[in-house]
Amino acid sequence: MSVAPETMQGPELELSIVVPIFNEEGNIERLHRELTAALTELGRDYEVIAINDGSQDRSYESLNAVQARDDRWHIIHFRRNFGQTAAMAAGFDAARGEVVVTIDADLQNDPRDIGKILKKFAEGYDIVSGWRQNRKESLFLRRIPSMIANWLISRSTGIKLHDYGCTLKAYHFDVVKGVRLYGELHRFIPALASQMGVRVAEVPVVDRARRWGSSKYGFSRTFKVILDLIVVVFVLSYFGRPLYVFGAAGFLVGGIGTLLGAYLTIFKLLTENKIGDRPLLQLAALLMVLGVQFISTGIVADMIMRTYHESQRKPIYFIRERRRSEAVEAVAELERV
153 binds, among Mg ion, ligand UDP, none (CB under 5 to 8 A by kind): none
127-133 and 200-206: which strand pairing?
parallel
Verify binding: residue 150, Mg ion, rule CB under 5 A.
Answer: no
**From the CB of residue 155, how many other CB atoms can be counted at a distance below 10 Å?**
10
Q: Which stretch binds ligand UDP (CB under 6 A): 18-26, 155-163, 192-200, 271-279?
A: 18-26
Q: Measured between alpha carbons, how far is residue 165 from residues 97, 132, 323 in Å?
A: 23, 9, 37
Longest dimension (CA), the chain: 94
Q: Considering the rule CB under 6 A, would residue 24 count as an interface residue with ligand UDP?
A: yes
Which positions ≥6 away from 49 have C-beta within 8 Å?
16, 17, 18, 19, 74, 75, 76, 91, 94, 95
Q: Interface residues for ligand UDP in 91-120 (CB under 6 A)?
A: 104-106, 108
Is the separation of the CB atoms in 194 and 217 below 8 Å?
A: no
Residues in contact with Mg ion, counted by CB under 5 A, come to a total of 3
User: Binding to ligand UDP (CB under 6 A): which residues in 203-262?
Assistant: 215-217
Residue 217: contacted member of Mg ion, ligand UDP, none (CB under 5 to 8 Å, by partner type): ligand UDP
Residue 34: name its binding partner from ligand UDP, Mg ion, none (Cβ under 5 to 8 Å by kind): none
For residue 20, the partner it binds in Mg ion, ligand UDP, none, with Cβ less than 5 to 8 A by kind, is ligand UDP
Calculated CA dihedral for residues 317, 91, 76, 184, nearest 10 degrees: 100
CB closer to Mg ion, 47 vs 106: 106
**Nearest to residue 194, comparing CAs of 223, 151, 164?**
164
Q: Which stretch binds ligand UDP (CB under 6 A): 19-27, 41-49, 117-125, 328-336?
A: 19-27
Q: How many residues contact ligand UDP, by CB under 6 A?
A: 16
Residue 22 binds ligand UDP, judged by CB under 6 A: yes
Q: Which residues pair with 99 in a beta bridge?
A: 15, 172
- Binding residues among 96-125 for Mg ion as defined by CB under 5 A: 104, 106, 108
User: In this chain, which of 46, 47, 66, 83 binds ligand UDP, going by CB under 6 A?
Assistant: 83
- Residue 75's DSSP bridge partners are 50
State the burial class of residue 325 (Cβ atoms within 10 Å of its Cβ: 0-12, 13-18, 19+): exposed
How far is the C-alpha of 142 from the C-alpha of 131, rounded, in Å?
Answer: 15
Which of residues 88 and 284 has its CB atom nearest to ligand UDP in the complex? 88
Smallest separation (angstroms) from Mg ion to the CB of 217 = 8
CB of 217 to ligand UDP, least distance (A): 5
Looking at residue 160, its amino acid is: K
115, 38 contact by CB (below 8 A): yes
The secondary element (H helix, E strand) that includes residue 109 is: none
Task: Catalog residues that contact Mg ion under the rule CB under 5 A.
Answer: 104, 106, 108
Task: Catalog residues that contact ligand UDP under the rule CB under 6 A.
Answer: 20-22, 24, 53, 81, 83-84, 87, 104-106, 108, 215-217
